[in-house]
Amino acid sequence: MAKIRETTSKFIKVRCPKCKNEQNIFGKSASDVRCLVCGRSLASPTGGKAKIKARVLEVLE
Ligand SMILES: [Zn+2]
């Protein structure tokens, strides 16, 4: 199950729910963030904050 969570943090380590790739993404990304391995959408912009559509493993301040 993909978790949908909003965050204001800077960098977030997430795991792709499809291929299990771990990737650091920017929490305030203004554009769609996609998995570097399989291309699945991991986060999408929602007015300043990114909506995370993957499992959050760690928040990197
Ligand atoms: Zn992936």
The residues that bridge with 59 in the sheet, in sequence order, are 12
Q: Which residue has the tokens 């790739």?
A: 21
Domains annotated for the chain, with CATH where assigned, are: 5-60 (2.20.25.100)
Q: Where does the pLDDT of residue 6 fall: very low under 50, low under 70, confident under 90, or very high at 90 and above?
A: low
Q: Could you report the per-residue pLDDT of 45-59, keeping only the tens digit for each?
A: 888 778 899 999 999
Could you tell me the distance, in angstroms and rounded to a whole number, from the CA of residue 61 to the centre of ligand 1? Answer: 23
- Distance, in Å, from the CA atom of 3 to the CA atom of 38, rounded to the nearest integer, reads 18
Could you tell me the distance, in angstroms and rounded to a whole number, from the CA of residue 12 to the centre of ligand 1? Answer: 15
Q: Is the dihedral of CA 55, 15, 1, 45 positive or negative?
A: positive
Q: Could you report the per-residue pLDDT of 14-42, keeping only the tens digit for each?
A: 999 999 999 999 888 888 999 999 999 99
Could you tell me the distance, in angstroms and rounded to a whole number, from the CA of residue 47 to the centre of ligand 1? Answer: 25
Q: How far is CA 42 from CA 14, 30, 35, in A?
A: 8, 13, 6
